[in-house]
Chains A and B, each alone.
Chain A
Amino acid sequence: MLQGGLILAASFVYLGLLFAVAYYGDRRADAGRSIISNPYFYALSLAVYCTAWTFYGSVGRAASTGLDFLTIYLGPTILAPLWWLIVRKMIRVSKRQRITSIADFIASRYGKSAVLGGAVTIVAVAGIVPYIALQLKAISTSFTVASTYPDTAALTNAGGAAVPLLADTALYVALLLALFTVLFGARHLDASERHEGMVAAVAFESLVKLVAFLAVGLFVTFGLYQGFGDLFSRAAERADLRALMTLEPSASVFGEWAWLSFLSMLAILFLPRQFQVAVVENVNEQHLKKGIWLFPLYLILINIFVLPIALAGMMYFPDGTVEADMFVLALPLESEQPLLAVLVFIGGLSAATAMVIVATTALATMVCNDLVMPVLLRTKALRLQERTQLTGLLLGIRRSSIVVVLLLSFIYFRMVEGHYTLVSIGLISFAAVAQFAPAILGGLYWKRGTHAGALWGLLAGFLVWAYTLPAPSFAEAGLLPHSFVEEGPWGWAFLHPHALFGLDGWSPVAHGLFWSLLVNVGLYVGLSFKTQPTAVEHSQARAFVDALPVSSRATVWRGQASVTELRQLLSRFLGHRAATQGLKRFANAQGIDTTQPTWEDHLPANARLMHHAEKLLTGAIGSASAHVVVGSVVNAEPLNLEEVMDILDETQQMIAHSRELERKKRELEQATQRLQAANAKLQELDRLKDDFISTVTHELRTPLTSIRAFSEIMYDNPDLSAEQRQEFLEVIIKEEERLTRLINQVLDLQKLEAEPMTVKVEPVSLRTIIDEAVQAMSQQMEAAGVTCTVEVPDEEPGTVEGDRDRLKQVLLNLLSNAFKFCDDTDGRIVVTLRSRAEDVQIDVADNGPGIDLDEQDSIFERFQQARSKARAGSSGSGLGLTIAQRIILEHNGDIWVESTPGEGATFSFTVPRTHATDPTGDGAPATPDPTASDSSPATSPIT
């Protein structure tokens, strides 16, 4: 009735929508605005529990055995109150220990054992494969039904063997789901293994499947019938349907009911996909609060119409032409409701895909992290330890695991297809994950559980499970001799897989669950007592068992201790005064008059006093030690291992604390030293600043004085000769020029010091700069008869990185310096450029009187020239060389002077070819620090 193409199109549109939801979820997560960080999303994602089994299989089960399909949902409901204790603990442990899968969880608990992690992974894969097969079966069957109805031949083709491999819808479903799971769960690697997009999609799917199922339920109940009353009363007319409304009052029926409830309680906790959504993907522990009751509410809603649909199906298809598992889809098809049928198909698809995506993602994480990687890392030949980038490899393993798991499921589906209903396949998986129960529950609540117990219990339970549950299904599918299920192996009836040791009359699931858990728990407990936990196991056991804050050690002291003893104890640890005060407080609270000298005699030597003493001691020596110390007075019980561990723990923490304190103290001392140094430097700077100001004012006063003196002479003597007046005015102008120059240079220097880092870095040709500087001075030099020679190697541009204007200023300062001091009659200046690999050196030589050796060190200091007698009478500010030095230091270069008195002086500087910023970040150029010149090589070049 429905076109196959239409269904396919609807499916692809739906899957596309799903992917959009996931993509949006991932984007929001990346942006830090998680949409799944919301208790309602969390509750909906928990509903990944409801798979195609719920959607199609429940009706099938209800049609054959009545209400017992509900056990699968009542179990989780009954257990829900305990989630607050168990799941919260699992979440807390997992967050603390960065656990990302159930295999990780068990392996961590028992000493981070790789072997155990691998074993859990194998059990999980073997157990979940049938479950995934169930989803494949549901999708492919529902597709066949939807596209061929009412050609019922396809429906009754129960054997399924006739379909050739490549024509099998399930194969394509499996491949498509593999692709989808890779896109959802293994697109990229995330250290926390959280998949926000996937969870968003799963929550969305939970809504879709609920809406679809409610829609078909309402349609059947109120569309095909006139409500519940009508439907039930019509069904009650048939004896076989009436039987479905009650439970047969027999021990086996109620026993089965209890076993299935119990099984589903374990499943909801330990199914890898439930662990994934409830624990790994949990964003906030508080979301659990809503999840705890919303999830059972969801279960009520999705189950309320199961029995009505089953009864209606039985009435509509009384001859068994339609498999009961497909009633949900067949009823709308039969009543010609194509839209509803498509909705139902999409709902079933939702239920199945959500399960497959989450389950295979969880399994792939386990296979990769707990099975393949440990083996690869241990294989020395691969040298994986040395590789730094394993992301690609990890993703590759994840993706291949997803494909392999789905193909395995497909193979399983082909093998047992047609022999089993959806529910019975799913129950086999439930029984497999139930094998994790002893190791996990024991691990969470029993510190004594050991690695050997967990491992051997798990493996033995798994073997019994394999023997009693999947093996018979293989036998029925013809893969094992059929006699295996009929008479037991080799005809040994006591080994019959459905009646081991003669335990007959149980359903296969209850039977398999009983024996496997018996062996599992027996070995877990027995071996745990027989083996000793290692140190790692012991500390992990404590981390797991004590994960939730324990209410204070509610010990009731039983023995009697004398008040004197307790008092001595307290004095020993707390000192006499504190002990007396502590006891006084207690006595006051007890209504004892402490003003009397004998008040201590009135203290009751009871448990309350001991508890009080313990509390007092806890403040001083920690709770564990306090407990033991008080215990030592009360009775001489020897320390047990746990108490020793407690004490060690506390001591360890205290040591860590005191180490931390020590470190802080050292840091503080260092900081103080640095502060003192900085302070000394500041004082020095302050002093230098004062010197500078007094020097500058002194320098300013000299020209000012002479200007004033000459002006006064002219003012007082109006009858001065024109010639003399001219001469005086000349002096005034000259002095005024000197004043201006001085002020300009002071400003220059201040600017350099105020913004030292504003060096513009650009390629600069020093050759060009020399030419320009010499050009600028040429007129002045020619007038004074000074010859200037430039010696630059041919074609050598002398390119460096630096600030063009400032470098030019350096050269100008050096040139004018040389000009001022060169020989009066035959002044000669030689500028030389030397090019080297790393830097360029420029020398400016003059033939003046030279500089005394003892002055060479301080020639670059401010106003140095002014103090030098040898330079007396020269006109200069005394700041030119200081400015030149500062600029060169900013360029990370050197500047120095070489001179033999009487034979002239040569000022040289170098500039590095590339301008590297000072790596320490506080180099000389960065600080306006006159003392820097003391330590700079510029001042002591002749060493």
Chain B
Amino acid sequence: MKRQRLIALFVLGFLLFNYPLLSLFSVEAFVLGVPVLYLYLFAAWGGFVWLLARIVEAPEATASSRPDPAPPPTD
């Protein structure tokens, strides 16, 4: 489970910090006096790290080292 969540987060990171999402925020505007892109980058970065900490520090019960349950039937 942990393994899958981490991979999903990696994909999310790739999307958050690349074209085209970045280009949406690359506008000459200010929120609370701070450029939108600058604000977006650091906010997304902080949120990303927060998610990362939650997943990584989750209790070991969801660790990927636990064997998978029996495979589903094919019939």
Which residues of A are interface residues toward B (Cβ below 8 A)? Answer: 67, 70, 74, 77-82, 84-85, 227-230, 232-233, 236, 242, 245-247, 249, 254, 257-258, 261, 289, 292-293, 296-297, 300, 304, 307, 548-549, 551-552, 554-558, 604, 606-608, 611
Nearest CB on B from A286, distance (A): 10
Whether B56 pairs with A292 at a CB distance below 8 angstroms is: yes
Instruction: Pick the contact of A611: B7, B45, B57, B71 (CB < 8 A).
Output: B71
* A648 CA to B45 CA, complexed, in Å: 49
**Please, which residues of chain A bring their CB within 8 A of the CB of B42?**
300, 304
* A558 CA to B73 CA, complexed, in Å: 10
Whether B52 pairs with A247 at a CB distance below 8 angstroms is: no
**Please, which residues of chain A bring their CB within 8 A of the CB of B65?**
548-549, 551
- Main secondary structure on chain A at its contact with chain B? helix
**Please, which residues of chain A bring their CB within 8 A of the CB of B61?**
none
Instruction: Pick the contact of A77: B13, B64, B66 (CB < 8 A).
Output: B13
Within 16-73 of B, Cβ neighbours of A (below 8 Å) are at 17-19, 22-23, 26-28, 30, 32-35, 37-38, 41-42, 45-46, 48-49, 52-53, 55-57, 64-68, 70-73
**Please, which residues of chain A bring their CB within 8 A of the CB of B41?**
67, 70, 74
Whether A84 pairs with B71 at a CB distance below 8 angstroms is: no
Sample of 15 more A-B contacts, CB < 8 Å, known A229-B30, A249-B23, A558-B74: A77-B45, A80-B52, A81-B52, A229-B33, A229-B34, A247-B23, A249-B26, A257-B18, A289-B57, A292-B56, A300-B45, A551-B66, A551-B67, A552-B67, A608-B70
Instruction: Pick the contact of A78: B10, B28, B56, B66 (CB < 8 A).
Output: B10
**Please, which residues of chain B bring their CB within 8 A of the CB of A258?**
18-19
Please name the residue on chain B nearest to A250 by beta carbon: B23
Nearest CB on B from A256, distance (A): 11
Whether A607 pairs with B71 at a CB distance below 8 angstroms is: yes
Whether B17 pairs with A300 at a CB distance below 8 angstroms is: no
Instruction: Pick the contact of B75: A74, A230, A548, A606 (CB < 8 A).
Output: A606
* A296 CA to B44 CA, complexed, in Å: 12
* A914 CA to B65 CA, complexed, in Å: 65
**Please, which residues of chain A bring their CB within 8 A of the CB of B19?**
254, 257-258
**Please, which residues of chain B bring their CB within 8 A of the CB of A549?**
65
* A557 CA to B71 CA, complexed, in Å: 9
Whether A232 pairs with B56 at a CB distance below 8 angstroms is: no
Nearest CB on B from A553, distance (A): 9
Whether B56 pairs with A289 at a CB distance below 8 angstroms is: yes
Interface size on B, residues (CB 8 A): 45
Pick from A81, A229, A293 the residue with the most CB of B within 10 Å: A81
Whether A74 pairs with B45 at a CB distance below 8 angstroms is: yes
Whether A81 pairs with B37 at a CB distance below 8 angstroms is: no
Whether A81 pairs with B7 at a CB distance below 8 angstroms is: yes
Instruction: Pick the contact of B52: A74, A233, A296 (CB < 8 A).
Output: A296
A-B contact pairs, 10 of them (CB 8 A): A77-B17, A78-B48, A228-B34, A236-B30, A245-B35, A247-B22, A249-B23, A551-B67, A551-B68, A607-B73
* A350 CA to B19 CA, complexed, in Å: 35
Whether B33 pairs with A233 at a CB distance below 8 angstroms is: yes
**Please, which residues of chain B bring their CB within 8 A of the CB of A261?**
17-18
Nearest CB on A from B2, distance (A): 7
Please name the residue on chain A nearest to B8 by beta carbon: A81
Whether A246 pairs with B35 at a CB distance below 8 angstroms is: yes
* A551 CA to B63 CA, complexed, in Å: 11
Whether B3 pairs with A84 at a CB distance below 8 angstroms is: yes
* A293 CA to B53 CA, complexed, in Å: 5
Instruction: Pick the contact of B28: A227, A242, A304 (CB < 8 A).
Output: A242
Nearest CB on B from A82, distance (A): 5
Nearest CB on B from A89, distance (A): 12
Whether A296 pairs with B49 at a CB distance below 8 angstroms is: yes
Which 10 pairs, one residue from A and one from B, show the smallest C-beta to C-beta distance? A229-B33, A78-B13, A254-B19, A245-B35, A293-B53, A81-B6, A552-B67, A81-B9, A247-B26, A551-B68
Whether B34 pairs with A85 at a CB distance below 8 angstroms is: no
* A229 CA to B41 CA, complexed, in Å: 17
Nearest CB on A from B49, distance (A): 5
Whether A293 pairs with B49 at a CB distance below 8 angstroms is: yes
Whether A77 pairs with B18 at a CB distance below 8 angstroms is: no
**Please, which residues of chain B bring their CB within 8 A of the CB of A228?**
32-34
Please name the residue on chain B nearest to A247 by beta carbon: B26
**Please, which residues of chain B bring their CB within 8 A of the CB of A604?**
75
Instruction: Pick the contact of B6: A67, A70, A84, A227 (CB < 8 A).
Output: A84
**Please, which residues of chain A bring their CB within 8 A of the CB of B26?**
246-247, 249
Whether A606 pairs with B73 at a CB distance below 8 angstroms is: yes
Please name the residue on chain B nearest to A227 by beta carbon: B33
* A694 CA to B47 CA, complexed, in Å: 94
Pick from B3, B6, B18, B45 the residue with the most CB of A within 10 Å: B45
**Please, which residues of chain B bring their CB within 8 A of the CB of A77?**
13, 17, 45, 48-49
Whether B30 pairs with A232 at a CB distance below 8 angstroms is: yes
On whether A232 and B68 interact (CB within 8 A), knowing A67-B38, A297-B49, A307-B38, the answer reads no
Whether B10 pairs with A293 at a CB distance below 8 angstroms is: no
On whether A300 and B28 interact (CB within 8 A), knowing A261-B18, A608-B73, A611-B70, the answer reads no
Please name the residue on chain A nearest to B70 by beta carbon: A611
Whether A247 pairs with B37 at a CB distance below 8 angstroms is: yes
* A81 CA to B2 CA, complexed, in Å: 10
Whether A232 pairs with B27 at a CB distance below 8 angstroms is: no
Nearest CB on A from B11, distance (A): 9
* A85 CA to B48 CA, complexed, in Å: 18
Nearest CB on A from B74, distance (A): 5
Whether A230 pairs with B33 at a CB distance below 8 angstroms is: yes
**Please, which residues of chain B bring their CB within 8 A of the CB of A227?**
33
* A21 CA to B59 CA, complexed, in Å: 34
Nearest CB on A from B66, distance (A): 7
